[in-house]
Chain A
Amino acid sequence: MHFDHQPVNESAPQSLASQQGNARLGMRLFIFYTSLYSLFVAISAFSFSSLAIPLFGVPAAVTAGFGLILGAIVLAVLYARACTSE
């Protein structure tokens, strides 16, 4: 089974390179963020006591939660700035 690395293109050929570049960047950022999110869920489920470790004066659970929310905002802004327009 062969998976394409870019979304199946349905639009005009002149914007193909731009679309593929955006899609590659989006996929990299998606994999990066998904890894962080998965790590947080896995620690919560299987290493619960780790969430109690103090980070900046509060349990790591709080710091990690803030990090995931703020991290998503930062990555979204970076993605928007890096994407080329169609």
Chain B
Amino acid sequence: MLTDPSPLAMLIFLIFVGFTLGISFWFASKSKSSASYFAAGGQIPWFVNGVAFAGDYLSAASFLGICGMIARYGYDGFLYSIGFLAGWVVALFVIAEPLKRMGRYTFADALNSRFQSRAVTFAAGLSALVVSAFYLIPQMVGAGALIMPLFGLPHWMGVIAVGLVVTVIVVSAGMVSTTYVQFIKGALLVLFSGLITILILNRGLTSTDDPVAMQPQVLTVTTSGEKLIDGTPLGSGAGQARIRGVGQLASLAKGPNGEDRTSTGPLSPWGFLQELNQSQVILWNENTQSTEKGKVTTYSPIVVSGQEVLMPGRSPLFQGIKSDSIWPKLNFISLMLALFAGTASLPHVLIRYYTVKDGRAARQSTVVGIATIGVFYILTLFLGLGAMTGGNIDLTDSNMAAPLLARTFGELPFALVSAIAFTTVLGTVSGLIVAASGAVVHDLLVGWLQIPLSDHQKVRFGKLVALLVSVMAIGLGIWFQKFNASFLVGWAFSVAASANLPALVMVLFWRRTTGAGVAASVLVGMLSSLTWILLSQETFQNVYGYAKNDAAQMALVPFSQPGIVTIPLGFLVVIVVSLLTRPQPATENE
């Protein structure tokens, strides 16, 4: 933790969360039917729905994860911005209108509209549940990262806090309140990201010659769990030390007359990038070793050119694209494919097409969503680079870069950005839980198990499922604390794209597709991508706890991102199984 909690920041934050809850309770009084709970009755205005798309989609991964990755490694985080936005092209040009025409509440409705098959309902419902759960993990990890600097509380308490607030939102009113929370949050997120970017550009770039900026830092987590910074206990009291905030320029380019400079003054957006391109930046390498004392992580400064910062390949995830080995290149292509194909496969994004009245409104709201999301992703580059050069990065947690950047401009921006980031998590998690809840009630209980439920019972079961999913999300958020949020979302996109996209595309564009083909494709895509992830080096290292070299030897797949194998596999399965089975009449039940 870099700084002490601020009462002003806490107050503003609590007002924000209270306001959000107030909206939820207000909409709760208007939302009684299952159509209203799961799909907002199909009556959300297209512009509101478009901004809510952004509020739903711009998750903790986008705001905290991407900014954090850019702040630590440069351009690599921007690759996620590019991939995430490109995915909306698939959603708008290929999926939006036909999907709207084919469904009512859930992704399974659309997938099954030609078959009325219980097998398809089961596969699609299970897939929606698994993908939503996977996507929940980074949101909860991000929530914990926000609470730490704001309240000075441990990560797990932040995860529990967001879990409780989201449960209140979802259980109180479902999709209507979720939509308006996402609308407000999406608008505020883009607005305040723009304001922080203006502050960054107005501050310009400054270099430092302070020798402290180049001193390594050593974090030791002893076998008893105590944390030491350079041998001194971690904390803000007497005889304790904090980890030092980092993020400086070693030098700037010479001025127009060949003079040395230490500050640029205010810059235009492109001028900021051009100045950085000619500067020297202090970045930090990280090396962790297990010793008799415990786990020792050494953070060592390294000076790199600004041009290198504005190129991919500095983060551990993307370093391989600079090598001659084919596997890291395939890993990179696989991730970019999953980001491209994953957006149109995410159940919580797809259900938003059922909250508007017709295909035209679905199309218009997607365009608003793309514009809002695109502007935000451009801002992420400035936010991340602003954090990289703002002197307040916490080396132990990349997810905190954006809020800590805001703190360099004062307590008020910090409080506002933290509150907005927290509502970011609330908005996304609420949408995910509604999607998961809809999948369980409509697809698994009513569709697959064929349990007859009245409209009132569907809502009650939906709220019960929402509660259970929230508890599960809290547990997963605590377990995955050490991961970068963007990295985790990459996996969620891979599972979604592998399980859902092949079946969805083939249902829309190939009349010979059968229910058996769809069900098999969803199940094979989901299981193969999950299995691939569980057998990858990253999972052995960061989930099972093996050292890097051991994890590399034990991994059973050559790279960690499954999409390049499992998405084509999904297409292959739906084609082969469809050709081997008879097309069903519209009313046939499997």
Contact = CB atoms under 8 A, between A and B. Distances in A.
B378 interface: yes
21 contacts: A1-B510, A3-B510, A6-B509, A8-B114, A8-B507, A22-B363, A23-B98, A27-B94, A29-B93, A30-B93, A40-B82, A44-B79, A59-B277, A59-B307, A61-B75, A62-B75, A62-B381, A65-B78, A73-B371, A79-B92, A85-B360
B183 interface: no
Contacts of B113: 10
Residues of A contacting B: mostly: helix
B310 A58 contact: yes
Given A27-B93, A86-B358, A72 B85 contact: yes
A40 B113 CA distance: 37
A45 B319 CA distance: 11
Interface centre among A4, A33, A51, A69 (most CB of B within 10 A): A69
Contacts of A45: 321, 329, 332-333
B512 A2 contact: yes
A14 interface: no
Contacts of A68: 82, 85-86
Those 7 A-B pairs whose CB atoms lie nearest each other, nearest first = A26-B93, A30-B93, A7-B98, A57-B274, A76-B370, A80-B367, A45-B329
A56 B270 contact: yes
B279 to A, nearest CB: 12
Interface in B273-288: 273-274, 277
Nearest to A6: B509
B511 A72 contact: no
Contacts of B90: 30
Given A68-B85, A80-B364, A61 B93 contact: no
Interface of A: 1-4, 6-8, 10-11, 19, 22-23, 26-27, 29-30, 33-34, 37, 40-42, 44-46, 48, 51-52, 56-59, 61-62, 65-66, 68-70, 72-73, 75-77, 79-80, 83, 85-86
B407 to A, nearest CB: 27
Contacts of B364: 80
Given A8-B509, A45-B321, A30 B277 contact: no
Contacts of B511: 4, 8
A75 B89 contact: yes
Contacts of B358: 86
B311 interface: yes
B97 to A, nearest CB: 6
Interface string B66-106: 00000000010011011001101110111001100110000
Nearest to B90: A30
A76 B370 CA distance: 7
Interface in B202-218: none
B489 interface: no
Residues of B contacting A: mostly: helix
Contact of A86 (B82, B307, B359, B381): B359
Interface centre among B85, B313, B358 (most CB of A within 10 A): B85
Contact of B97 (A23, A29, A40, A58): A23
Contact of A57 (B97, B270, B329, B579): B270
A32 B581 CA distance: 35
B86 A76 contact: no
B384 interface: no
Contact of B273 (A19, A23, A51, A62): A62
B153 interface: no
A83 B367 CA distance: 12
B575 interface: yes
B92 A26 contact: yes
A23 B94 CA distance: 7
A59 B94 contact: no
A3 B92 contact: no
A83 B363 contact: yes
A8 B85 CA distance: 26
A82 to B, nearest CB: 11
Given A19-B97, A72-B85, 9 more contacts: A2-B512, A10-B98, A10-B101, A26-B97, A33-B86, A41-B332, A62-B75, A65-B75, A72-B86
Interface centre among B86, B337, B381, B575 (most CB of A within 10 A): B86
B92 A59 contact: no
Interface in B360-374: 360, 363-364, 366-367, 370-371, 374
Given A37-B340, A48-B313, A68-B82, A4 B510 contact: yes
Contacts of B340: 34, 37
B69 to A, nearest CB: 14
Given A8-B507, A30-B89, A52 B311 contact: yes
A3 B180 CA distance: 40
